[in-house]
Chain A
Amino acid sequence: MKLFVEGIAILAPGLPGWAASRAVLAGEKNYEPAPLAPPVADLLPAVERRRTGSMVKLALAVGHEALTCAGRPVDSVATVFASSGADGDVINEICITLAGSDRQVSPTRFHNSVHNAPSGYWGIATHSHHPSTSLCGFDWSFAIGLLEAAAQLQVDRREVLLVAYDTPYPEPLRSVRRVAEPFGAALMYTRDRTGRTIAELEVTMDAQPREASRMSDAALERLRTGNPCARALPLLAALAGAQPQQVTLERDAGQSLSLSVRTF
């Protein structure tokens, strides 16, 4: 399946946006991890922004950056949101409340606990009525989201924004589900090549599983393995121009996807 990339976004420690990260991902500059400044999510009205946590803000910020990069209005595309879970802070707070004697769950916390909260806030922020889905494939959520985006392009013949993000869980959940650092990425895909196309991707489901691509830089490799959606890093590196332009992503059931990347 062929996809064209029109916009790319990334937010992670030491990778504050695509323009600022491109040279690092291409291997032209050293990677220097630095704490990620909390994303602003200025798409959202202030009253809604106050109700959201870091996961929603991260998802909205990368989605917005990718569309800005593509020069597309925020309400103009279908979206696929991929993450390995719902907001860990919200789940933790709810579980603490439910384990206590007074089980009054805050209504806002409850509606923020759904896996599709980022998608819901995206709709409120962008006024987009386009279809939006929210998927989970545990550690393979990015690969699954990419497959879904590719299927939408091919079958529904529409442009698709893929937004992938995972944020660290607080203790005690952190001991059973370690997400080391926040990581968000977004890719604006089109079915046909446009004047703003920056790369072309060919996605294949491998008949025999292949080993996942790694990052050559040790700190970036730690970032990749420390956050499910950071499994996107080898693809982002290839999009930044790094060699090789062949990338393998692990997907569910021990299988893999092979991507061949051509940048323009």
Chain B
Amino acid sequence: MQPLFLNRYAIASSTGIGLEPTVLALGEMRSGLAACAFETVRLDTFVGQIADALLAPVRADLAEFDCRNNRIAQLCMQQDAFDQSVMAAREQYGPSRIGVFVGTSTSGILETELAYRRRDAAGALPADFRYATTHNTYSVAWFVQSYFGLTGPSMAISTACSSSAKAFGNAARMIAAGLCDAAVVGGVDSLCLTTLYGFGSLGLLSPVGCRPFDADRDGISIGEGAGMVLLEKKADGRTADSIALLGVGESSDAYHMSTPHPEGLGARMAMEQALMSAGLRPGDVDYINLHGTGTRSNDATEDKAVCAVFGNDTPCSSTKGWTGHTLGACGAIDAIICALAIERGFMPGSVNTRTLDPALALRYLIDNRSQPPGIVMSNAFGFGGTNCSLLLGRVQA
């Protein structure tokens, strides 16, 4: 594929609101996870929560979209001049030439969960409950599109935990097909009872902060957050060389709804497809940001899959110990962490991980390494056996 430039990006997660706080927390090995005190949830687990006080109501003219998920989207768009950059792009290309591609798994379902508690005697939902602009899967893409007044094609991609990695693929296709000149690509997910109690019922929640690839790893920590990228065909010329999306690979496990293929077959295919679409070989990749959720089986199958494609020499790690597993947002959040790694010249380690699982073969980094990666891969896999791998790298503008 033709490289597409990440001309501006923004991030908001429990690890940091904005790029600088995120880089700082990564550098200081400071995790955003804490014992769960979300809403009325009584579960023995850690979460990566954005403090409620930081989540201001959405802009007044878009009040109908107000919900936790869209507040997180707005908080992210207000960081690092992301909103100004999109408005400048809107000026340059015209509102109809910018597409919106946002990945989410649960959108604003929290609103519906809370509304069900307020059902009246006849079982009806409260009159102030708005479904379409909060809970509906499309709500967050609709909100982002409305926030910037864009009229290019927009969609919510909802493929569970690969959603916002796959959103880059949708954006790249629409740009290549000439349906838009630039794209706002992102991922947003927020804490809700469905995912907390759902993963709880699967026995997949770690009682402490998640420890990817650790010998004692015991599950995921759910996080919330958003990552947003302004993707364009041309670099904006701020620096001599810029960070670009080089390849996207997508595949299906065709195995099980909530368990990955035991040999990591689908994951392997996604990584190989990404390399093929970028015209790169495994040896060209300097660092891999793993999906690495911290469950026994997910990490073990990803270990096998990555080894099958890259061997066990490529440095890799999961950054879920910092952010938690942000589900539909993790594709975009991890891609931005990868972009920061390239931009600032470091390879993230793995906060919380202490003792590597001797059964796993990958060259897994626990400590941060100050070695600049040129080309990085980011993996995201999800329920339904959906897999997506992205390749990012420095390209001369």
A residues near B, CB below 8 A?
A: 1, 75, 84-86, 91, 94-99, 103-107, 110-117, 119-121, 123-124, 126-138, 141, 144, 147-148, 150-152, 154-156, 171-173, 175-177, 205, 207, 251-255
Which B residue sits closest to A110, measured CB to CB? B198
Closest 3 A/B residue pairs (Cβ)? A120-B384, A110-B198, A115-B158
CB B248 to nearest CB in A, in angstroms, measures 10
Q: How far is the CA of A256 from the CA of B347 in the complex (A)?
A: 45
List chain A residues, Cβ under 8 A from B170: 133, 135, 148, 151
**Contacts A/B (CB < 8 Å), 29 sampled:** A94-B194, A95-B194, A106-B201, A110-B194, A111-B383, A115-B159, A117-B384, A123-B255, A124-B254, A124-B257, A128-B254, A129-B252, A133-B170, A137-B154, A138-B138, A141-B138, A147-B179, A150-B177, A151-B170, A154-B177, A155-B177, A171-B124, A172-B123, A175-B124, A176-B130, A177-B131, A251-B153, A252-B138, A253-B152
With A114-B160, A148-B170, A155-B177 already in contact, the answer to whether A129 and B117 are too (CB < 8 A) is no
Nearest CB in chain A to that of B114: its residue: A99
Complex contact A105–B201 (CB within 8 A): yes
B384 and A119 contact, CB distance less than 8 A:
yes
Q: Whole-angstrom distance from the CB of B379 to the nearest CB of chain A?
A: 15
A91 contacts B158, CB within 8 Å?
A: no
Q: Which residue of B lies closest to A115 (CB)?
A: B158
Indicate with 1 or 0, residue by residue over B158-201, a CB within 8 angstroms of chain A CB atoms.
11100000100110111011010000000000000110011111
In the assembled complex, which residues on chain A have CB atoms less than 8 Å from the CB atom of B92? none
Asked whether B386 lies within 8 Å of A135 as measured between CB atoms, the reply is no
Partner-A contacts on B (CB < 8 A): 96, 105, 109, 112-113, 116-117, 119, 123-125, 129-132, 136-138, 141-142, 145, 150-160, 166, 169-170, 172-174, 176-177, 179, 193-194, 197-202, 250-258, 265-266, 269, 273, 382-386
Among A103, A121, A133, A147, residue most surrounded by chain B Cβ atoms (within 10 Å):
A133
A135 touches B258 (CB 8 A): no
B251/A120 in contact, CB under 8 A: no
Contact A148 B252 (CB under 8 A): no
Q: Indicate if the CB atoms of B132 and A177 lie closer than 8 Å.
A: yes
Which B residues are in CB contact (< 8 Å) with A85? 136-137
Q: Give chain A residues whose Cβ lies under 8 Å from the Cβ of B105.
A: 114-115
Residues in chain B near residue A156, CB distance under 8 A: 173
Establish whether residues A123 and B252, one from each chain, have CB atoms under 8 Å apart when the complex forms: yes
The interface residues of chain B lying within 8 Å CB-to-CB of A84 are 136-138
B179 contacts A116, C-beta separation under 8 Å: no
Complex Cα gap A55–B58 (Å): 33
Q: Which of A104, A123, A134 contacts B157 (CB 8 A)?
A: A134
B116: which A residues are within 8 A, CB to CB? Answer: 95-96, 98-99, 172
Q: Which residues of chain A are within 8 angstroms of B151 by Cβ–Cβ distance? A: 253-255
Closest to A145 in B: B155
Point out the residues of chain B lying under 8 angstroms from A105, CB to CB: 194, 197-198, 200-201
Which chain A residues border B130 with CB–CB below 8 Å? 176
A119 to chain B, nearest CB (A): 6
- Residue with the highest number of chain A CB atoms closer than 10 Å, among B130, B179, B382: B179
Given contacts A99-B113, A120-B257, 4 further A-B contacts (CB under 8 A): A98-B194, A111-B257, A124-B255, A252-B145
Given A114-B384, A121-B257, verify A133-B136 contact (CB < 8 Å). no
Chain B residues with CB under 8 A of A126? 254
